[in-house]
Structures are given as C-alpha cells and as structure tokens.
Chain A
C-alpha cells in the first residue's frame, strides 16, 4: 500500500511539472471594479415574472453589454450587420421583410420573428423551435453563412482587442483577464438584453383589461368573436391559438397555409424536423399578436403582405393537409365582421415599447 502511495505521489509530482499553470496573455482586468447589480425588469402588472436561466441572471452591466453586442456590426463578417439588422425596434423587432438578407446578400429561408416578449418563450424559439433558449439562440446567427457569416473565434478576437469590450465583459461577468472572454459570455449578454424586451402594458387592450379604458362597439364585437364569447356571433376561432397575456399559446401548429397530400409532402417541415415526429411536419410556432400590425409580412415564409390577407386566409379555411389543425375551416365571416376583428386586434398596438430608450441603438 505504501509503495502504491509513493508511486502515486511521484507521478503527481511529475504531472505537475508537465502542466504548468498557463500565464494569461490577455489584458489584466482586475483593476476594474466588478459590482454586479441585478437588473430590474419592467414588467406590466398583469404579466408574470420572467424566468431566467439561473446561470445567467441579468445584471445592469450584462444587459448593457448585450445591448451593445446586439447593435454592434462588429458581430458580422464585414462589419455591416448585427442582430438589429433583422430585429429592428421600429419593425416590432423584425425587419418587416418576407425573408431577411444577410451580409452576402443571401436570403434566409424564413421570415424573422419578433423579439417582443421573447423571454417568455419557454417551449423553444424560432419558427421551428430548434433553439431551446435565448443563450443558445444568440450563438446561431454569427456563424450562419446566410446571416452574419463569420466565426465566433474571429468575433471574439475583435472583441478582445476592442478598446471598450474587455472592461464591459469584466463588469458584466467578473472575468479577470480578457482571455476569459468567450462566445458563451457574449451570448449570455445578448440573451440578457433580449430578455428585457417586454410589452409596456399600455396597449388599449391592456388598459381596457385594467378598467382604464373601454372598447368601441366594433372592437368589443371583434373581441367577442375572437374569443367566442357571444353565441349570437360567429366564432372566429382566434383565441384557441392566440390567448393568454402574450396572445399566443406558444404551440407549434399547422394553420393550413400549405397544401400537402401526405405528411411527408411539406417542402418546409418546420417543427417536424426538430421533433422528429412526422405528425409535426408543416407545423410552425404560433406568433404573438401583440403589435402584430408592425410585424408584417406574415407567416413563417412572409407569404401574406397584409393583415387583411391573413384574416382572409383563416376565413377561407386554408389549404388541405393531413395535419391541418381542426380549428382551420371556412368561417363564413362577413367583411364587416372581419373589419371588427381587425379593430379588436389593433387594440394590441403598443407603440410605447417601440420607443423605449433602453432598447434603442446605443451607438446612435
């Protein structure tokens, strides 16, 4: 036994000699104070608390760093684009394009989704749910050849050699040397920032719900049809998928926009590619209706230019496919009823959130 211990001791001495503690080659940041202050989310009273990644609790400095990275073109191959290019504040955090265009002029296969209230999406992100959380999502566009088309090591090298970012990472995450700056920390910062993009709670719908305003007659009738509250009015079937404080169930459904003879005939399989279940082919995430008027064109492929086109689609009953949701059928709504539905949905307009200083480009 003693011999074994001796051998182990000797071998450990040799192994220590083989593996000297690496000397950081980056910039020492310990002179910069690290005093993290937890970020206080601005959440409307009738919204629940945001659930954060316990390993990435938002701080004031973390959110600020994320905001800078979100807007800084340093994140792209040719320093022309960043996250905001496809998620612009004045487009309800979309680019209002059918398909987004990346640094090489190539088009994405799907339309950009809004980031409004994205922190409340716990069942996967993007149209097909392939990203589990914001920390993961923030990693994706950088190396996507259609989007920012660069490489994380290249981006991190630029950030490490930047005048300001090493100190920003220090303040956000307490790193002691610029060598400790990683893509994971950059993604965490961007996630912290995007998690703060929350409705203001000042839309007309919110004010009515709080007893501070009243619907017009048309808005109220639209509200009744939306949620099927009045047996004397037709059920517009909207509230099944667009409900709750986000006006989305966050589910993945086939809303009948694609004709498919069999479950295998969808050109874009959407959620089915992620779940591996062919019954999910052709399903896409139900988007929020909050500020929907600023988010067009609509659907995952931007096929509908106007919101009126969307309503006409649902009124028609959509196209046939084996897993088209059973709630998609010819509704028989009149033009006047569709107009009232639109009036109600417009009560979800929230211009305050689109003008908040804390979401704006810090470089302007």
Chain B
C-alpha cells in the first residue's frame, strides 16, 4: 500500500512539473503567425479564367495559370533565417473560376514564428536540389508528384504554366492557343519583398498579387503572342525567359 501511495505522489509531482514546464514554455514563446495570400490579376483587375481580356487591340483568354513557389524564407536583422516552406504550389487554375474566389486568393498559413522584423524572400520554381529529381521520387501527396509538371526534354520540372487562347482576327473566335511553360535551373527566380515583414502576436498577412498582363511585357510592348504562341523550341526560350524575368515587376505586395 505504501508503495502505491508513493507512486501516486510521484505521479502527481511529475504531472505538476510537466504543467509548470508547459506554462513556462508557452510564456517564453513570443510567437506569431504569417498568412501569405497569392492573388492573380490582369491589368490590376481580378483574373477570372476564360474571361475575355484586352491585349492591345486584340483579346486573350487565360485558361491556366499556376506555379511552384519555394524556399519561402524570413531573415531577421541578425541574418538568421527561418525557412517557412521548402516548396508549395500556387494553383490559380482551379481557384480563379469566379470573382469571389479570385478576390479571396490562395492562402498559405505559417505559425510559431518568433516576433520580430524580417526580410522575406521566396522563389518561383523548383530549387536545384529538388529539380534534379522526378515526380515519382515523391509521395503521391507531395506537390512535386505531378507528372504533368515534369518535362522530359528539359529533364526539369515545369516551374510555371500559363496557357490561354488568342483572338487573332478580333472575330470573337479564340482560335489560337498559347502555351508558356517555364523550367530549368536557369529560369529559377528569387524575389525579395521590398519592405520588411513585422511579426507580432497578432496575425500578420501579406498579399502578393501577380499581374498577368505585366508578365507579357516585352520591354514597353505587349509580347507578340501570335508570332510566338509556344515555347517548345529549345532554341527559342525567349518567351519564357521574358516571363521569368518579368516576375519581379509583376508581383505587387500589399
């Protein structure tokens, strides 16, 4: 009986100790959360797939837009980095089907971030270490297990897909399809947000809006889709290089 009582007493002490430790641990955590919301626009208006969009004197419809984001990282003033996510997938294709969903955007949530001021960077594409693998190397639930986002000819994941249709003769018939897929390590682009992110105990939200019209800017002119509706020729990477290079100027931070 004495032994039993002693065990009960010991158990109570352990429970009390664990409770105090948990209390101290939670008190010590001055952590906050960050929501990153991706939104798609076209000429500063919410992008709704299959809508007719002005493209110079012609019109286009965007039918698909999605891309990988990777290495979402916060760096504090001391240079210490926090990797929020190694890779994820921004899928406007299955989201931007109406105005409401286009305005809501796609939300990624991160928690347990120490309070502080950070620079934030992220990349569009698949980083080299992951890009050296193939979709079947990842489990079926992993975002890289998408066979449709691997292009054998490049031996690379497809980083970004933008597809749509072009009304060549302003007839209302969108007969010309266009398809721009970026990929290969050369077109991996890292973007640094221009202003720091402040994480407090209150939730923090960053809205990143990707304007698709800007992606098609070739200098000050809209890119000639009719002349280059696809980027399959390995000797003609100009269109996808343009899209990759335009990413930095096409993302707007709110």
Give me the interface of A with B, judged by CB distance under 8 Å. 47-48, 51, 122, 227-229, 231, 235, 239-241, 243-246, 248-251, 263, 275, 277-279, 320, 322-329
20 new A-B contacts at CB < 8 Å, known A322-B174, A326-B230: A48-B137, A122-B145, A231-B234, A239-B151, A244-B134, A244-B135, A244-B136, A244-B150, A246-B147, A249-B147, A250-B147, A275-B94, A277-B94, A322-B61, A323-B50, A324-B177, A325-B177, A326-B163, A327-B179, A329-B177
Contacting pair A122 B136 (CB below 8 A): no
22 examples of A-B residue contacts, CB within 8 angstroms: A231-B233, A231-B234, A231-B235, A239-B151, A239-B152, A239-B153, A241-B148, A244-B134, A245-B136, A246-B147, A249-B148, A251-B148, A275-B94, A277-B94, A277-B97, A279-B97, A322-B61, A323-B50, A324-B177, A325-B177, A326-B165, A327-B177
Shortest beta-carbon distance, A251 to chain B, in Å? 5
Q: Closest residue of chain A to B149, judged by CB?
A: A249
Tell me, in angstroms, the Cα distance from A48 to B138 when the chains sit together.
9
Known: A48-B137, A227-B152, A327-B177. A243 touches B235 (CB 8 A): no
Q: Mark B145-185, 1 if CB is under 8 A from A, else 0.
A: 11110111100000000011100000000110111000000
Instruction: Name the interface residues of B163-220: CB closer than 8 Å to any CB of A.
Output: 163-165, 174-175, 177-179
Chain B nearest CB from A195 CB (Å) reads 13
Docked Cα-Cα span, A241 to B152, in Å, equals: 11
| Smallest Cβ-Cβ distance to B96: which chain A residue | A279
| Interface of B toward A, CB cutoff 8 Å | 49-50, 61, 63, 94, 97, 134-137, 139-140, 145-148, 150-153, 163-165, 174-175, 177-179, 230, 232-235
Q: Is the interface of A mostly helix, strand, loop or mixed?
A: loop
What residues of chain A lie closer than 8 Å to B146, measured between beta carbons? 249
Question: What are the residues of chain B within 8 A of A251 when measuring CB–CB?
Answer: 147-148
Known contacts: A249-B148, A326-B177, A326-B178. The answer to whether A122 contacts B63 by CB under 8 A is: no
Would B147 and A243 count as touching, CB distance under 8 A?
Answer: yes
Complex: A237 Cα to B148 Cα, angstroms:
13
Contact call A235/B232, Cβ cutoff below 8 A: yes
Given contacts A243-B147, A243-B150, A279-B97, contact A323 B63 (CB under 8 A): yes
Query: CA–CA, A327 to B50, complex, Å?
Result: 17
Cα–Cα distance between A48 and B134 once the two chains are bound (Å): 11
Closest to B140 in A: A122
The 9 lowest CB-CB distance pairs between A and B, nearest first, are A326-B177, A122-B140, A249-B148, A244-B147, A249-B147, A48-B136, A326-B179, A326-B163, A251-B148
How far, in whole Å, are A328 and B233 apart by their CA atoms in the complex?
A: 17
**The one of B50, B145, B150, B163 that contacts A322, using a Cβ cutoff of 8 Å:** B50
